[in-house]
């Protein structure tokens, strides 16, 4: 999987009308309408999709938000994990960078 180009300043967003989510004990089953695919997200990846659905956020903002929301330290939630998770979510289409694409 190719690393994503640097995304400094880029804002991420998701559209909650495009997906359906059901929670099963901290695991989220998510149906994404545009692709017709069903994904399993965990608390972190779902938390990220959910966070950017109400307001576009940059990578730094998402990181801060996840650490606060889930009471995690910088050591517990490293920056790199958020970055790779963003890239996975982006590839699946669940989130997109504002201004890129439609």
Partner 1 sequence: MQKSALKQIVGIAPLPEKVMDRIDLVRYADANHILGQMASVDTAGVSDRLNDIFRNALLRAGHDHTMLQFEMNRLEHALSGTGIEPVVLKGGAYVAQGKRAAGGRRVSDLDILVTEGELDEVEARLKQAGWSPDEATDNEYDQAYYREHMHELPPLRHAKRGTIIDVHHRLLPKTARSNVDVALMQQSATRVAGTLVKTFDDVDMFIHSAVHAFADGAIDTPARSLVELYMLYSELSFNDTSRLQIRAKAVGASKPVSTALWAIDEFFSADGAPALLNKTLTEKPHFILRWAITSKTFERRLAPLAKALLYIRSHYLRMPLRLLVPHLARKAIAWRPSVQKPVELPFP
Partner 2 sequence: MQPEYSFVTIYNGFVVTEKPIVPDTSESDSETSENDRIAERRQLLMLGAAGLPMMLTLKASAQEVLVSQLTCAIKLPKRLRILVDCDGRAWVGTKNIKYTNGKGFKVADIVKFKDDATYAFPAGDVPNYWLPDNCPIEECSNGGGGDDDDDGFDYETASAELDDLMRTSLPSQADGIVLASARMGDGDDDDDEDDCDEDWIDSGYAFYELSKNSTILPVDHTSGTGWSPQANTQGLFIALSLVYESRHGDAPGWPGISCIVSIISYFGTQN
Partner 3 sequence: MSALSCVASYQRRDLRAALRNGSFTLHLGPFSHLISGASEPLLDYLTDTYRDYPVELSPSDVTDVLLRLEAPNVLRRFVRRQITPNPGFKIPAVPLPLSMAPLAFEMGLNLSVALKCCRFINVHAGVVADETGAIVMSAASGAGKSTLTAALLQHGYRLFSDEFALIGLDQPLLHPYPRAISLKQETIPVVRDMVGDNWISKTVTGTPKGDIAYYRARASDVAQDKIPTKAKLVLFPNFEKGARPVARQLNPAEAIMRLVPASTNYSLLGEPAFHAVTGMLKNIRAYEITYGSTMDSLRLVEQITDQKLV
Q: Which residues bind partner 3 (CB under 8 A)?
A: 20, 22, 24-25, 27, 29, 31, 33, 36-38, 40
Alpha helix (H) ranges present in the chain? 43-54, 59-69, 79-92
Strands 11-13 and 19-24: unpaired
* Residue 69 within binding range of partner 2, rule CB under 8 A: no
Q: Which two tokens stand for residue 50?
A: 């959910």
Work out how close the CB of 42 gets to partner 2 at its nearest, in angstroms, rounded to a whole number: 6
| 22: partner contacted, choices partner 1, partner 2, partner 3, none (Cβ within 5-8 A by kind) | partner 3
Q: Which of 39, 57, 62, 63 binds partner 2 (CB under 8 A)?
A: 39
Side-chain half-sphere exposure of 60, counting CA atoms within 13 A: 5
Instruction: Compute φ and ψ for 23, nearest 5 degrees.
Output: -95, 130
Closest CB to partner 1 among 53 and 96? 96
């Amino acid at each position: 999987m190719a690393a994503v180009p640097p995304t400094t300043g880029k804002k991420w967003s998701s559209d909650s009308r495009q997906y359906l989510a059901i929670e099963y004990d901290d695991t989220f089953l998510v149906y994404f309408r545009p692709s017709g695919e069903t994904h399993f997200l965990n608390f972190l990846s779902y938390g990220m999709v959910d966070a950017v659905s109400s307001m576009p956020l940059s990578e730094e903002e998402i990181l801060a938000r996840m650490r606060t929301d889930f009471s995690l330290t910088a050591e517990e939630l490293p920056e790199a994990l958020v970055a790779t998770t963003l890239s996975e979510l982006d590839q699946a289409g669940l989130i997109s960078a504002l201004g890129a694409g439609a």
